[in-house]
Amino acid sequence: MTGRALSGGRAASAPLLGHETEPTIFEMSVSGRSAYQLRTTGVPATALADLIPATHLNGDVVNIAEVSERDLVAHFTRLSHRQFSVDLGMYPLGSCTMKYNPKFCDAVANDPGLNSVHPGAPAELTQGWLELLATLEEKLCAVTGMAAATLQPAAGAAGELTGLLLMRAYHSANGDPRRRILIPDSAHGTNPASVTLGGYEVTTVPSNDRGLVDLEKLKASLGPDVAGIMLTNPNTLGLFEEEITEIAAAVHEVGGLLYYDGANLNAILGAVRPGDMGFDIVHMNLHKTFATPHGGGGPGAGPVAVSKRLVEFLPGPKATRLDDGTFAWVKPSRSIGRVHGWHGNAMVLARALAYIDVHGGDGLTRVAKYAVLNANWLRQRLSDTLPAAYDRVCMHECVLTATPLKNKYGVRGLDVAKALLEEGFHSPTVYFPLIVEEALMFEPTETESLQTLEALAEAVERIAQRAIDDPDALHRAPQTTPVSRVDEARAARHLIPTEDAASR
């Protein structure tokens, strides 16, 4: 297949004009220079001292950089050239679902009819937004098989904590909040962190030799003090929990609830719904499954959908469709209260609805199918170089291991990940899940083509050959990137979080 790996996803042709670092905006600052322009208002320019008592005035202590508009543009444009992105090339970062973000969805959300609306304006004047939110809630429930949802949580972790507070409210209403939450050893770190903030204790459930929850050990951990279990399905190994109905039955048997971590929802769209698997609470990462851009680490959105028995506890107020066809803010009867300052990351929610509408039920089903096809093709294609940790059909991502390269040539997973950057690809997720040695977790997503997958595979093979020829060079990779490996220990030992700390 060599020769057809001229792909859209390989970014090795990205131009660079040098190897100097970019000065900070503060270093570029020249006192007295400015870029801002404001409206001519005609408002009386009363001296501030005549409006506000002197005890409140700060004596002009706050300084910002002073640059021209031209320098501002040059600075941030150059910074952007020092940044990898989905638009530039393939981002096979496992668990993060870095698929292509349709420009249309951004454009729709950026319409002034949506983005110039004040969140505190009366519902009568924002009916379009309320309808949009109510419609999105209905569609997310259709995708997940749940009864109702809150759109307030601003990201996946916020959704997790919201879900745990819902569990607490539900159990408390039944007389006992309970004490423990079960979490598989392969779970994302946000799960246990959220459990603690939800006022619960973590009980870790081990995986079996097939990379799945060990059902017998799970049953042994269950008891009347278990509030619920948090599961990702497919799990973080990219494997579907085949005993999910047995797990659900066992947890429900002791009165516990099942929480679905939607980090990997992309794999099962249209194939199976969390509600049908027995889950009571589901969070969705709209910035993964529904392709809203990640923004370099947010904004995300983490709506939480629930089964019927939890609906009355949902955060609120919620945009609600009334019988007369209008919309109003309604707080569920036993609501846990707000989990966001306003109505959630509304612009992200609007993008997700546009994405759902473009795809429809048929398109979303294809999304999952091709995501799973791509991951399995890559797993199989790389099997001689980076074997799969669990060698069988995976879902939307595959966890491979660099253990053979490490044992034979001393080349670690991190070295492979860094060398891929020189090849024009973003690295896969490294050393996660924690239960796999030298883990490299690849999630190609459905929007990458066969040609891009082939180009990635060939890049991995070249790196494997370099491991034989010159392993030391791999320890030093990458060298063609804006900076080479950074001294993380030094950053932590001597914290410099600001320009002012740097100059002290």
Site residues for other proteins, 146-205, by CB under 8 A, read: 154-158, 160-161, 164-165, 168-169, 188-190, 192-202
13, 17, 41, 472: residue in contact with other proteins (rule CB under 8 A)? 41
Mark the segment that binds other proteins (CB under 8 A) among 254-262, 377-385, 400-408, 435-443: 377-385
Mark the segment that binds other proteins (CB under 8 A) among 218-226, 251-259, 348-356, 397-405: 348-356
Q: Per the structure block, which two tokens stand in for 87?
A: 């638009």
β-bridge pairing 398-401 and 318-321: unpaired
* Alpha helical stretches, state H, 87-225: 103-109, 112-115, 127-144, 156-173, 190-197, 215-221
From the CB of 273, what's the least distance to other proteins, in Å? 6
From the CB of 217, what's the least distance to other proteins, in Å? 19
473 lies in the site for other proteins, by CB under 8 A? no
373, 387, 435, 462: residue in contact with other proteins (rule CB under 8 A)? 373
45, 323, 324, 472: residue in contact with other proteins (rule CB under 8 A)? 45
The residues, any chain, with a CB within 8 Å of residue 389's CB and separated by 6 or more, are: 211, 237, 399, 400, 401, 436, 439
239 half-sphere exposure, CB direction, 13 A CA radius: 22
What residues form DSSP beta bridges with 306? 148, 281
6, 12, 322, 501: residue in contact with other proteins (rule CB under 8 A)? 501
88 lies in the site for other proteins, by CB under 8 A? yes
DSSP state of 22: P
Q: Could you give the CA distance from residue 247 to residue 225 in angstroms, rounded to a whole number? A: 17
3, 13, 17, 58: residue in contact with other proteins (rule CB under 8 A)? 58
371 to each of 48, 65, 135, 395, how far by Cα in Å? Answer: 59, 45, 26, 8
Q: Which of 143, 72, 8 is nearest to 447 (CA)?
A: 8
The count of residues interacting with other proteins (CB under 8 A) is 206
Region 8-27 residues binding other proteins, contact defined as CB under 8 A: 8, 19, 21-22, 24-26
Q: Which of 306, 353, 416, 372 is nearest to 97 (CA)?
A: 372
3 lies in the site for other proteins, by CB under 8 A? no
108 lies in the site for other proteins, by CB under 8 A? yes
254, 330, 336, 435: residue in contact with other proteins (rule CB under 8 A)? 336
For 410, left (φ over 0), alpha (ψ -120 to 50), or beta?
Answer: left
404 lies in the site for other proteins, by CB under 8 A? no
121 lies in the site for other proteins, by CB under 8 A? yes
Site map (CB under 8 A) of other proteins, residues 204-243, x = contact:
------------------------------------x-x-
